[in-house]
Structure 1
């Protein structure tokens, strides 16, 4: 088990180093390991939300396709 933990720690260390390498020039300051961890967490959460929205849109589109078509009474609908 220690070997697996060491491999995970090594991967996490590489991810933190890579995150610092990418984001440090953009922030204009030195980033700590904790800063890098927080950035990784925020970016992961952001893309998680996008994926959740995408799944919800696909589900809504599938449900709309299964619903019977409503007659158009001449009204124009503008979705935003």
Structure 2
């Protein structure tokens, strides 16, 4: 299990380094590892909210589907 944890830690370290590299150039100041972690958390949360809104919209659209017209026994011939 330690080997798997080490691999995950290495991936996390790479993500933090990449986040720092990406955002330092845009923010124009040095970022700490904690700054990079917070940015990663915030960006992930932002996309989680977008995904939640998308699911809610699809559910609402499915619930708004119009039911077929009720047939009261009358035959209709459209031309």
- Tell me whether the two structures share a fold, i.e. TM-score over 0.5: yes
What root-mean-square deviation, in Å, do the aligned CA atoms of Structure 1 and Structure 2 show?
1.4
**How many pairs does the alignment contain?**
69
TM-score for the superposition, normalised by structure 1: 0.82
TM-score for the superposition, normalised by structure 2: 0.83
Structure 2: unaligned runs, 5 residues or longer: 70-79
Shift of 1:51: 0.2
Q: Which of 47-56 and 58-67 deviates more?
A: 58-67
Structure 1: unaligned runs, 5 residues or longer: 70-80
Match of 1:61 in 2: 61
Tell me how far apart the structure 2 counterparts of residues 66 and 26 of structure 1 sit (CA, whole Å).
48
Larger Rg: 2
Does 1:30 pair with 2:36? no
